[in-house]
Structure 1
Amino acid sequence: MIARLAGRIAEKRDDHAIVDVGGVGYLVHLSQLSLASLPPPGEPAALRVYTHVREDALDLYGFATEDEEAVFRALIDVKGVGPRAAQNILSGIEARELAQAVAQGDVARLTKVQGIGKKTAERLVLELKEKLVALARAAGPARAGAEADVLEQLRTALLNLGYRPPQAEGVAEALRDSAEGRPLDDLLREALKRLRG
């Protein structure tokens, strides 16, 4: 089982990266948050990895942080949440924020994340509350600057996707009024639409 990859980023795509390790390219599925934190192609990087084995495929899911990996592993233990769904969820909410929402039973916050309906949110709270309590405590109280944080994450994601700082700043400022309570993946999609014309 592959648990970690260290090499150079060969390519970055919408939902994965190819990591070149000793001449072998590993396709690693990543959340938008982890993908945004990767350096540009050609630069060295290390990722934590979950290996998902099926009859017809061997898929690698990568994580920039230990917290994201822990939450991913907890999510895939929930009935009806597979690795792809877990990755999509983590594209819309930071791992510690998800842990806090689950620990607080905040179904409304969870349903704002794309891919989480009311029933799934309730199931996450029911099944994960005890598993994620330590991570939620580490996250501390919800920060007042959550909107500023998501806009900063948006800027970073756009810069990592190759947009110039003025472009990233401009679109982030344009989305400031509509950023409150929205997950990063929604804002990133809207930003990319605006930037592409």
Structure 2
Amino acid sequence: MIARLTGTLAEKRDDHAIVDVNGVGYRVQLSALSLAALPPPGERVAVRTYTHVREDALQLFGFATEEEESVFHELMGVKNVGPRAAQNILSGIAPRELARAVAEGDVARLTKVPGVGKKTAERLVVELKEKLVALARAAAPRTPGAAAGLFDQLEQALTGLGFKPAQASAAADALREQGGERPLDELLREALKLLRS
């Protein structure tokens, strides 16, 4: 089982990256947030991985953080949620935001995640409530400092996608001025729209 890859980032696509490890290119499926955290192609990278083996395929799923990997494994323990679905969920909501929604039984927030219907959202709440308690506690404090940190993370994610620091800062400032409390994944999507328009 491949648990970690360290090498050169060869390519970065919409839902995966190719990591070159001593001349061998490994295709790693990644969530939108993990992809955003990667450096530009050509730079050194290290990703945590989960190896999924099926009769007809061998797939690697990657994570930028231990937190995301941990939540991914918990999601796969939910009935009818496989690795691809778990990663799709993590592309639509950050791990801490997911934990907080599950802890609060916020089915409405969970159904805003692409691919998550009401039944799946209710199942996530029932099956994960106890398992994600510690992460939900970490997500609970919402202070002005936390909001500032969110925009710092947004800038880092944008520079990781190859935008210049000045561009990343301008996009983060524009979204900060709009106000309103939004999760990082939503801010990232809005920033990319701004930068690509």
Partner of 1:173: 173
Task: Provide TM-score, normalisation by structure 2.
Answer: 0.85
Of residues 109-118 and 58-67 in structure 1, the stretch that sits farther from structure 2 once superposed is: 109-118
Share of identical aligned residues, percent?
71
| 1:50-65 map, 5 Å | 50-65=50-65
Partner of 1:90: 90
What is the CA–CA distance in structure 2 between the aligned matches of 1:136 and 1:72, rounded to whole Å?
15
Shift of 1:148: 3.6
Q: Is the 8 A contact 1:96 1:136 kept in 2?
A: yes
Task: Provide TM-score, normalisation by structure 1.
Answer: 0.85
What is the CA–CA distance in structure 2 between the aligned matches of 1:62 and 1:131, rounded to whole Å?
21
Q: Is the 8 A contact 2:11 2:17 kept in 1?
A: yes
Partner of 2:140: 141
Q: Is the 8 A contact 2:150 2:184 kept in 1?
A: yes
Instruction: Say how many residue pairs are matched.
Output: 196
Q: Is the 8 A contact 1:96 1:135 kept in 2?
A: yes
- What SS class does the counterpart of residue 9 from structure 2 fall into? strand
Q: Deviations 1:41-86 (Å, cap 9, x if unpaired)?
A: 2222221111112222211101122111110011122123222221
Of residues 109-118 and 5-14 in structure 1, the stretch that sits farther from structure 2 once superposed is: 109-118
For structure 1, the residue ranges without an aligned partner over 5 or more in a row are none
Partner of 1:154: 154
Of residues 128-137 and 18-27 in structure 1, the stretch that sits farther from structure 2 once superposed is: 128-137
Aligned AA (2:99): A
- The 1:116–1:173 alpha-carbon spacing in structure 2 relative to 1, beyond 3 Å, is farther
What is the CA–CA distance in structure 2 between the aligned matches of 1:84 and 1:120, rounded to whole Å?
15
Aligned AA (1:38): L
Q: Deviations 1:156-175 (Å, cap 9, x if unpaired)?
A: 22211111122222222323
How large is the Cα RMSD of the aligned pairs?
2.3
Q: Deviations 1:88-128 (Å, cap 9, x if unpaired)?
A: 22123322332232123232332343333332221101011
Q: Is the 8 A contact 2:2 2:49 kept in 1?
A: yes
Aligned AA (2:24): V
What is the CA–CA distance in structure 2 between the aligned matches of 1:27 and 1:155, rounded to whole Å?
26
2:194 equivalent to 1:194? yes
Partner of 2:113: 113
- What SS class does the counterpart of residue 67 from structure 1 fall into? helix
Q: Is the 8 A contact 2:28 2:62 kept in 1?
A: yes
- The 1:175–1:162 alpha-carbon spacing in structure 2 relative to 1, beyond 3 Å, is same
What is the CA–CA distance in structure 1 between the aligned matches of 2:39 and 2:98, rounded to whole Å?
25
Q: Is the 8 A contact 2:92 2:114 kept in 1?
A: yes
What is the CA–CA distance in structure 2 between the aligned matches of 1:13 and 1:193, rounded to whole Å?
17
